[in-house]
Amino acid sequence: MNTGPGERREGAGAVPTIEDELAAAMAEFAGRERPPYIDADALARAAGRRSRRTAGFAAVAAVAAAVVAVVVTTGGTDGARPAPPARPTVTATPTPAPTTPATDPSAMYGDAGDIYPDVRELLTAAMRYEDPTTRGSVDLTPLPGLFSHHQTFTDSWHGGEGLTCGQRADGMLFSSLDDIRFYRGTTPLPGRMVVELDKVTNKILITGCQHSGGPASIDPAVSGRYGPLVTTGRGSADCGRPTPRIWVADEPAAGTTLHGWTVRFDDGKPFKVSIDGGGKVTPYQCDGT
């Protein structure tokens, strides 16, 4: 005897109906996650004039989708809920201890270091050569090797205004390659020496004297400190050095409250000085380190 989709078949070997399977599935998952509400009327209306079997299949598909959602949400079919996500570990950054203000001037401003020793050697030799009393002690032999071309050395040393802008100088403030100033005593001399280096060999490529435009870095504290020592030949030189005949200040350093220079006298041995806002020159690192 044939049975419809909604009728039960009694006896051994009875085949479960769609309603049986639906009830079993809902009972199995009822204790794990509340199934979503299913509007049977809406399903029936959506089915329209479809057969009861087609409507039953649609209901099973809806429940299967809900079951899949429950399984995905609960993380499996064993009823165990997934562990909550681990909380990120927050590590507190310790507050650094307050620092004691540095007393060493070298810790208070940057130091560019000895970056143009060849230019300083050349111009120091030029100043000493311009002084008749020290000219004989100037060794010209290594100087051409500081240039990219020997002819450039010849033209710079002997031609035009020379390497000291045509004047005898006893002090030099070397701020940068395009701002090299000469002094006589405490007085800055006109013009500034400009030097260009070969970008490949770092040798001296061009020299020239400029009399207008460009930067104007003149530090009166340096010339005020060492100019009188040179012109009078008397006084106490810094770091126990003999009274100089020339002075050279280069390797400029700058900070928020101090600036400074590396100073050399006739013997070429460096020492560092710091200068405060009032123009006071204080020597330090007398060994040149």
Region label for 61, one of left (φ > 0), alpha (ψ between -120 and 50) or beta (otherwise): alpha
Q: What is the pLDDT of residues 23-48, one digit of tens each?
A: 776 666 555 555 555 555 554 455 45
Q: Residues near 179 by Cβ (< 8 Å), separated by ≥ 6? A: 192, 194, 214, 215, 216, 217
Choice among 5-14, 39-48, 68-77, 257-266 with the minimum mean pLDDT: 68-77
Of the candidate ranges 65-74, 186-195, 230-239, 252-261, the one whose mean pLDDT is the lowest: 65-74
Q: What is the dihedral of CA 246, 272, 192, 160, to 10 degrees?
A: 40
H or E element in which residue 41 lies: helix 40-47
**d(C-alpha 82, C-alpha 72), whole Å:** 10
- Cα(222)–Cα(279) distance, rounded to whole angstroms? 9
- Is residue 198 pLDDT above 90, yes or no? yes
pLDDT of 206 above 70: yes
92-122 pLDDT tens trace: 545 544 443 344 444 444 444 567 999 999 9
Domain-wise residue ranges, the chain: 18-74, 109-284
Query: What values do phi and psi take at 180, rounded to 5?
Result: -115, 115
Q: Which residue has the higher pLDDT, 98 or 21?
A: 21
